[in-house]
Amino acid sequence: MGKFELVKLPYAYDALEPYIDKTTMEIHHSKHHNAYVTNLNNAVAGPELETKTLDELIKDASKFPIAVRNNGGGVFNHNFFWSILKKNGGSTPTGKLADAINSSFGSFDEFKAKFSTAAATRFGSGWAWLIVQNGKLAVTSTPNQDNPLMDLAEQKGTPILTLDVWEHAYYLKYQNRRPEYIENYWNVVNWEEVASKFAQVK
């Protein structure tokens, strides 16, 4: 067993039905995510990198081999993605997070539209993100397995929400209908967890 391990999901594979189907979740977690963990362990084998934490590998991604960037990002991004989903999610954020969204975007609906557009228009594979940037919220997207914590990100910030728009995240159920997948994603967002991540940003 390597240094990094596949995280256990905080819910069953079928918990996010009908919005994210059981088969997709099982393959996504046990095959795709697990492969990133295995490949990251291989990439950091040796004295130079074996003491680095995942956060350190992400933050200084440009300083390490491309396999560390790609697989480290794959592990971090998926860990993060699973954590902000839940059965019977959705609704709307409340409290300080809701206030911050309204302040930064005008309204929750305007935020949703901007985030959904970022997810829908990310060319090829990648991720959409809600980040804290200089005390304000911003929406961004990243290619492949990059994320806004990386030193080479075009738009840097601390993520509090994400959506995986790699085809393997939705193709079995939605085929080429990425906008439909994005629309249904809002039904499984764990806003309590997002608010918790927001509250932890220094």
Q: Which two tokens stand for residue 87?
A: 């059965």
DSSP code string of 32-83: IIHHHHHHHHHHT-STTTTT--HHHHHHTGGGS-HHHHHHHHHHHHHHHHHH
Q: DSSP class of residue 141?
A: E
d(CA 74, CA 147): 9
Residue 40 is encoded by which pair of tokens?
């990251």
Reported in sequence order, the residue ranges of the chain that DSSP labels E, i.e. its strands, are 126-133, 136-143, 158-164
**Helix 191-200 vs helix 95-105: crossing angle, to nearest 10:** 80
pLDDT of residue 50: 87
Q: Can you give the C-alpha Rg of the chain in angstroms?
A: 16
pLDDT tens-digit profile of 114-165?
Answer: 999 999 999 999 999 999 999 999 999 999 999 999 999 999 999 999 999 9
The number of helices, as runs of H, and strands, as runs of E, in the chain is: 9, 3
What are the pLDDT digits (tens) for 158-186? 999 999 999 999 999 999 999 999 999 99
Q: What is the mean pLDDT of the chain?
A: 96
At residue 202 the predicted structure's pLDDT band, cuts being 50, 70 and 90, is confident
**pTM for this prediction:** 0.96
Domains of the chain with CATH codes: 22-83 (1.10.287.990), 95-200 (3.55.40.20)
- Which whole number is the average pLDDT over 9-21? 98
Region 28-48: what's the mean pLDDT?
Answer: 96
List, in order, residues 6 or more apart from 39 with CB less than 8 Å away: 67, 70, 71, 74
- The lowest-confidence range among 5-9, 47-51, 65-69, 178-182 is 47-51
What's the CA gap between 202 and 193, in Å, rounded?
16
- What residues have CB less than 8 Å from 153, skipping those under 6 apart? 140, 142, 146, 147
Q: Is the predicted pLDDT of residue 1 greater than 60, yes or no?
A: no
Which residue from 193, 192, 195, 187 is spatially nearest to 16, judged by alpha carbons? 187
> Per-residue pLDDT averaged across 187-202, rounded?
96
Q: What is the pLDDT of residue 90?
A: 87
If you average pLDDT over residues 88-106, what whole number do you get? 96
Phi, psi of 198 (to 5 degrees): -60, -40
Q: Looking at residue 2, what is its pLDDT?
A: 66
